[in-house]
């Protein structure tokens, strides 16, 4: 197993990372992120998608004319904010598309 890890063909298990950290006196969180970079957002406690979407969300919320034109309610803003935290929204105008999809799905038949 060691040659596979040393040659970069496998990542060490979490239990091995924990034992290495304890034995060598190293920070196990740092070792985990080094061995499994995809775990960084979990270790940091921050969702990267929320960070990336923040600019689009801020532009959308600050555009009062757009909010009035589309008669966006406070409840709708809450839902759209959750969408921004859940996934990356590239452009502030995409929130209108999402809102229209929600409104159409919730409309009575």
Q: Are 101 and 75 in contact (CB under 8 A)?
A: no
Domain ranges in the chain are 2-44, 48-106
Tens-digit pLDDT profile for the chain (109 aa)? 566 555 666 678 888 888 888 898 888 888 888 888 777 777 776 554 444 446 889 999 999 999 999 999 999 999 999 988 887 888 888 999 999 999 999 877 6
Q: Are 95 and 89 in contact (CB under 8 A)?
A: yes
Pick the closest to residue 57 from 66, 70, 44, 68 (CA basis): 66
- What pLDDT shows up at residue 53? 45
How many angstroms separate the CA atoms of 79 and 99, rounded? 9
- What pLDDT shows up at residue 14? 85
């Amino acid at each position: 197993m060691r040659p596979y890890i040393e040659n970069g063909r496998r990542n060490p298990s979490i239990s091995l990372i924990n034992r290495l950290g304890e034995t060598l006196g190293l920070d196990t969180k740092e070792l985990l992120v080094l061995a499994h970079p995809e775990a960084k957002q979990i270790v940091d406690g921050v969702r990267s998608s929320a960070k990336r979407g923040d600019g689009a969300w801020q532009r959308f919320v600050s555009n009062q004319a757009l909010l009035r034109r589309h008669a966006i309610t406070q409840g709708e803003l809450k839902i759209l904010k959750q969408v921004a935290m859940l996934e990356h929204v590239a452009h502030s105008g995409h929130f209108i598309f999402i809102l229209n999809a929600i409104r159409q799905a919730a409309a009575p038949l």
